[in-house]
Amino acid sequence: MGRDAQKAANIVLEAAHGLGFDLVGIAPLRPPRRAEAFRRWLAAGHHAGMDWLERQSERILDPRRILESEGSILVCGVSHARAPLEIEGGGRIARYAAGRDYHNLVGKKLGKLARRLEALGLAGRGRTIVDAGPLLERSHANEAGLGFESRSANLLHPTFGPWFFLGELLLPIELEPTPTPPAASCGTCSACIDACPTDAIPEAGVIDANRCLSYHTIENRGTIPHELRKKLGEWAFGCDVCSEVCPYGSAAPDTEATFGLHRGAETRLVDWLAPRKNTEVADAEFWNGSPLTRAKREGRARNAALVLGNRPTDEGHKALTRALEGDSPLVRAAAFWGLSNGHRDDRGVREVLERALQREEDSDAAADMRTTLAHFG
């Protein structure tokens, strides 16, 4: 590429930094370097219930299909490092989920950047993508020089570790790519593989979503497999274990102020089991703007029931019993397990469970309850 492409790239990068992005880089708009690895990952079924990845695979494997033109990918990163957060009454959520929804913040920044570049005459109508778009973003970010992919498939940066969001602006112009820094790697470190509570990293750089707690507590709309429920421990939404044990993440600067603290992250875990009723702020409105909405109300309640079973309290016992007598079949089955796991030695619990099973009319929930009761002891 010529001097014009380099000059335009410098202007684009400067504009992105000026809007507050912590990391910026440019990659060519072409198939990602890890295209074959992605094909193998899909073929192995490691995407679990995320069928949209198969439906969108052609565009993921060749982002030129998204713009239907040649061009460049501007990759931007925003740090979200903060201290770990425990929900009142037990339970943890992934650190990124404690603040405002990053889709909104990063998306607005990218939209503003696109309009600024268009006003400068550098690009016509492009496409902004924040996490949910059909793009193998970590692979493109690696090519743009934002970091290297770790054994846990995170993108690692020397300063921010794994604690940053990615967003992309696909531009219909060819810019000079960002020079890729010297190759880096995890070396001999396998801390993430060793620490994963469910053995969800079968080999370096591969995550099996079928066993990943983040997938099950966020994306999975059904039951969480029995074999993973105790291993869920205190994780009520997401899981940060592989990031927390990573040496690259230990010194990342705290950037909590960027996303703040959403009020949903300050709720009690027992309150996740019941929709907010007769309050000044309705349930949907209360959670609006939080990443925790991704699991939907039923998913949060299911997760809470399982965590309360792993971290039993008297208050949790009461909340699980109430959920067992109402709520949706999915939540009833989770509450049934929660009571069985956390309160099996409590007087009368066996009778409560048997009565609940007798009145259960949903066949899937009843089958789940029978599996739980078979291991009651």
Active site residues: 131
For residue 16, give Cα distances in angstroms to 3, 116, 145, 253.
20, 10, 15, 20
> Residues with Cβ < 8 Å from 36, sequence gap 6 or more?
none
If DSSP states are collapsed to H, E and C, what string results for 83-118?
CCCECECCCEECHHHHCCCHHHHHHHHHHHHHHHHH
**Beta bridge pairs of residue 153:** none
Closest CA to 5 of 113, 123, 126: 123
DSSP state of 204: T
> Residues with Cβ < 8 Å from 217, sequence gap 6 or more?
224, 232, 235, 236, 237, 238, 239, 295, 299, 303
* C-alpha to C-alpha distance for 330 and 327, rounded to whole angstroms: 8
Q: Which three-class secondary structure state does DSSP give residue 249? A: helix
Length of the chain: 377
Q: What are phi and psi of 136, to 5 degrees?
A: -85, 75
Asked whether the beta carbons of 14 and 117 are under 8 A apart, the reply is no
Asked whether the beta carbons of 137 and 154 are under 8 A apart, the reply is no
As given in the structure block, the two tokens for residue 36 are 């074959």
Find the radius of gyration of the CA atoms of the chain: 23
Closest CA to 235 of 197, 285, 284: 197
